[in-house]
Amino acid sequence: MTASGKEVLAIWDRNIFPDMNVTWGKYPMNIGHTDFPGCFRCHDGSHAAKSGDTITQDCNACHNILAMDEANPKILTDLGIVEPKTH
């Protein structure tokens, strides 16, 4: 099998779960909060344990927020995505 064939199979294995009736396109993309519920599918306050505890809505419980509402976040330079500004 070629390298590209192996990579396609690896991608398929990460996205298709026939035993669970999950195929490509079965569920909407839940990245973000505008087009789909995103995190709030589960972090909506209505998924409660018998104790009454719900899944937290604190974004930091699952995410490390590296930048928010910044025009030129430093993290992009740190990751090498944007060239550092020279003065």
Domain boundaries, the chain: 3-78
**Is 43 within 8 Å of 56 (Cβ atoms)?**
yes
pLDDT for the residue 41 = 84
pLDDT for the residue 63 = 85
**Is 67 within 8 Å of 75 (Cβ atoms)?**
yes
pLDDT for the residue 14 = 77
First CA to last CA distance, the chain: 51
**Is 46 within 8 Å of 54 (Cβ atoms)?**
yes
Per-residue pLDDT of the chain (87 residues; tens, 9 = 90+): 788 888 888 887 777 777 777 777 777 777 777 777 888 888 899 999 999 999 999 988 888 888 888 888 888 888 888 887 776
**How many helices, marked H, and strands, marked E, lie in the chain?**
2, 0
